[in-house]
Amino acid sequence: MRGVYEEFKKRAEKKLQSGPDAGAMLFREVAHLGLAAFEPGAKVVWTTAYCFPMVLYWPFNVVPFDFEYAAMQLTGQRKAGEALSACNRQGYAVDTCTAHRVALGAEKLGFYPRADLLVSTTHFCDGKSKCNEIFKEKFRVPFHLIDVPIERDESALIYVEGQVREVFASLCKLAGRTVDESALVEYIRNHNRAMAILEEVQGLRKEQPSPYLPGNKGYTMGMLGGMLLGRPELVAIYEQFLKELRDAPRERGPDGGERFRLLWLLANPSYPTNIFDTFREYGARIVAEEFTYEFMHPLSENRPLRSITEWILDSRFIRPVEERIQTILKWVEEFHIDGVVSFTHFPCRQGNGALSLIRERLNERGVVFMDLEGDLCDPKTFSPERVRMAIENYMEMMSRL
């Protein structure tokens, strides 16, 4: 894993020799964070960035490490096969999430840094919390599992906030600090600055035509950027991203110009594919991503831990499915969406369970839905020929409307 981060840093610094670049800046900071987890004496907290606000960690001189993101990063560098094999040898079920299987195998092989504290939640998926239970037995360290109810009323807020406060107290203890919420204020301000920039980014992407972005860069900037929320470095990265969007081609570009506007649901394959090149050939621009909005929740300087609790309970992946559908329909209208694409990670029951309902409601609006099946971390399941044919058929359907 250390080698993966070193490679990220090397590539990013080479890219930055030619001038500022938001993507390279982001990968450089992610590399710095990852390498810090391997430093002697580092206090490492294993957590999940897309489920739990990272702002909670920065005051305490600890290094947050997301074992799922790390699994995807190993996959992106074509180093997940060994970890999957190691997981299989331990006897774990092969139909469970490959991001978790890669993580279990990578930890077994010694690829990951040692944990001093584990923090997880019950929403999004069962595998995440189950992995942490296994890691707890391995490392013999404290494990906080935040139980997130489906309801979002005052009793739920009180219940979850109590658990968040326990995590905060553990972090204070780990860092040898007094329990004081005001330690979060500086980082909440950085978080909110990043949110304000993302709002401007989304405003530009709502315009017709939308600024051209290569591949699925919007997803990368939102999802991977979530690892750094609360840090001043991310504010600078997002400011550069906003500048690049303002300068990006609109009427023309490598895709020849915007013909179709796409909304991207769920995840993104972690390995190289022909998906985005094929969409580009048809002038199909991804102008919004579902996961970007999972992070777009401002936090309160006056009530830091309560607002963090609200962030957790606002997730569209724990709320009733109708709320997720209504939000998707809202994005379809605001971003003038022509088609919705879901990268359907095979084992993800939490993300995929509602797709038939989403398809039905989108069809009622005349919006074409594409269920693009694949696996996040196992390139052996991916067929470029099959995917190209599926996208070509999808583009033909959209052309008829």
Query: Is residue 43 predicted with pLDDT exceeding 80?
Result: yes
Query: Is residue 95 predicted with pLDDT exceeding 80?
Result: yes
The pLDDT value recorded for residue 295 is: 79
CATH number of the domain enclosing 296: 3.40.50.11900
The pLDDT value recorded for residue 38 is: 97
The pLDDT value recorded for residue 150 is: 86
188 & 173 share domain: no
253 & 152 share domain: no
315 & 384 share domain: yes
Domain boundary pick from 142, 161, 180: 180
Query: Is residue 349 predicted with pLDDT exceeding 90?
Result: no
Query: Is residue 386 predicted with pLDDT exceeding 90?
Result: yes
172 & 200 share domain: no
89 & 173 share domain: yes
Distance CA 103, CA 351 (A): 20
Domain boundary pick from 148, 180, 212: 180
More confident residue, 28 or 291: 28
Give the residue from 147, 109, 139, 62 showing the smallest Cα distance to 131: 139
Beta bridge partners of 343: 266, 372
Interval 211-224 mean pLDDT: 93
Domain boundary pick from 125, 151, 180: 180
Query: Is residue 334 predicted with pLDDT exceeding 90?
Result: yes
Q: Note the pLDDT tens digit of each residue in 363-373.
A: 998 899 999 98
220 & 310 share domain: yes
CATH number of the domain enclosing 81: 3.40.50.11890
The pLDDT value recorded for residue 346 is: 78
Interval 105-120 mean pLDDT: 95
Contact between 345 and 97 (Cβ < 8 Å):
yes
175 & 193 share domain: no
Q: State the pLDDT confidence band at 374, using cuts at 50, 70 and 90.
A: confident
Helix ranges (H only) for 109-224 are: 126-139, 154-175, 185-206, 217-223
Beta bridge partners of 117: 45
Number of domains comprising the chain: 2
Give the mean pLDDT of the chain: 93
349 & 309 share domain: yes
The pLDDT value recorded for residue 399 is: 87
Residue 173 sits in which domain range?
Answer: 2-180
Angle at 288 between CA 285 and CA 293, to 5 degrees: 165
Q: Which residue has the tokens 């999972």?
A: 294
284 & 390 share domain: yes
- In terms of average pLDDT, the best of 70-79, 158-167, 345-354 is 158-167
The pLDDT value recorded for residue 104 is: 96
What ranges make up the beta strands (E) of 213-326?
260-266, 284-289
272 & 222 share domain: yes
Distance CA 71, CA 49 (A): 13
The pLDDT value recorded for residue 293 is: 83
Q: Kindly report which listed range (64-68, 206-210, 226-230, 266-270) carries the lowest average pLDDT score.
A: 266-270
The pLDDT value recorded for residue 252 is: 87
239 & 364 share domain: yes
326 & 348 share domain: yes
pTM, 2 dp = 0.94
Question: Helix, strand, coil % (nearest 5) of the chain?
Answer: 55, 10, 30
- At position 285, the amino acid (one-letter code) is R
Interval 379-385 mean pLDDT: 91
Strand ranges of the sheet holding 260-266, from the earlier edge strand across to the other edge: 284-289, 260-266, 339-345, 368-374
The pLDDT value recorded for residue 124 is: 80
